Every structure is written in C-alpha cells, then in structure tokens.
Amino acid sequence: MARQTTRRSKGRRSPWAAAALIGVGLLMTGGIYAGASAAMAATTPETTVNSALTVEDGEKLFQANCATCHGMDLQGTDDGPSLYGVGELSVHFQVSTGRMPLQMQGPQAPQKPVQFTDEQVAALGEYVQSVAPGPSFPDDEVLDGEGNVSEGGELFRINCAMCHNVAGAGGALTEGKYAPNLHNTSSLNMYAAMVTGPQNMPVFNDMTLTTEEKRDIITYLLWLQETESPGGYELGSLGPVAEGLFIWIFGIGALIALTVWITAKSN
C-alpha cells in the first residue's frame, strides 16, 4: 500500500503567526528605543553642567520676581526694604522657605510652598551677594549637628525660648506676629535666622553668640527634631498651660462623670 503523506495546503497559516510577528516587532522596537535612551543618558552629566545657572540668570530672576518691591538696584521701594548688606544667606532663608516673593502685605511673611528650584535660589543669592555683599554660608562643621547638646539647650532657653518655646514649638507675639515652629527647619536656615535676624527676630552676631555657640544651639534643635517626647503625647509642646487645661477638661471631667455614674447606679 502506498504511504499517504499529509501536506498542509499552501496559503494557510496558524492563527498565532500574526500575533507572533507583532510581538517580535514590538520587542525589536523596544530594544532599539532602550538602546537610544541609554546613549542619550550617557551625555546627560555634560548637558547638566553646561546648563548651570549663573549670576546673570539670578539677575533676570530678581528683575522678574523681586524688583517690583525691592527695586531694580536693590535700593528698596515703598513696598519693600533695601537689600543692601543682606547677603546671599538672607536670600536663601527668605526664598528657600517660600516667604519670598511675598503674596500680600501683612504683619509677617508666612512660610509657604517654595516657588523656585534650588539652583534658582542659589543664583538669586549669588546675584544679591555680587551687588550688595552681606552674610554668606558657614562652614559645614557649623551645621553638622555634632556640637554640645546640653550647652545648646541652655543657650536656647536663655536667648530663644521666650519666643520660640523651650521645645521649639513657636508661639504668638504681638500685633499678629509669631515665632515660627522650628521642628522642620533645616540647620542652614537655623544659622541664617540667627545671623540675619529675619522679620521680628534679633540679629545674633559673634559678639552675642559665637560661631561655636550657634553650632551648639543648632545641635540642640536637631536633637529635638529627632527625639520623641519622653512624656508620650506632647500636646503640641505648648507648655504647662495647655497641659493643665487638658487635665482639667478631660481628667477632672472624666472623674466627675465617673462619680455621677457610680452615684446613679447606687441609687
């Protein structure tokens, strides 16, 4: 008997063939795209270096965002003070915390979301420093948080706690002003505030607090930020008045309610 051979008819293909071809095409396309992306990423560092902001960029940013209040030549206007002598450290404090540019006139410039990148903040500071030099950035050692916590705590209680609270929780001042909470303040802005005296804060120059003493205060505040309250729930760290009020309202109130409940049960 002759062997019969089964042949697949010409022109017929498996229904999965088209899907397989599409999958292979997608894989090839993805591989080519990934290779091109990697090649472009290899050139990114050089491009970033070339796009670093300059003092001229800082001047343009100043003219567009600050000159309305502070004047084209930093001389100040009726709506804003002169910036002569404030230096790049003050610019960093005001701009990196969102206090500037100011949204509206008021007793105090509130902290709000930052409107500039770190590079733009640095360029603004460099421009102001080039036109009207003032306080500049300290050595890294001053901000390292490795000072004396005990000495820093004592210095803070003597010089700062009357406004900022002994726990750095801030507090109300007069005429709608306030000392801000320091629980999220960076070490650089702590130093900047002591040196430049923003808004209602006095300037602590080296005659008042030495650089080492400023370092100790920064160390104490960083320790407060990293240390949990040993008493449990801190009630906002607002001090004995808030704690006493809490005890009177909730503690004594709970005892009175328990006494009334026991009396009602006995009757």
Residues 111-138: tens digit of each pLDDT = 999 999 999 999 999 999 999 899 999 9
> 180-220, pLDDT tens digit by residue?
999 999 999 999 999 999 988 999 999 999 999 999 999 99
Q: What is the pTM of this model?
A: 0.69
d(CA 200, CA 261): 52
Helix axes 87-96, 118-131, angle to 10 degrees: 150
Band of pLDDT at residue 251, cut at 50, 70 and 90: confident
Within a 10 A sphere around the Cβ of 136, how many other Cβ atoms? 12
What residue ranges define each of the domains in the chain, with the CATH number in brackets? 55-131 (1.10.760.10), 140-237 (1.10.760.10)
Structure confidence at residue 49 (pLDDT): 38
d(CA 145, CA 76): 36
> 74-106, pLDDT tens digit by residue?
999 998 999 999 999 999 999 999 999 988 888
Of 257 and 44, the structure prediction assigns the larger pLDDT to 257
- The secondary structure element, H or E, covering residue 172 is strand 171-172
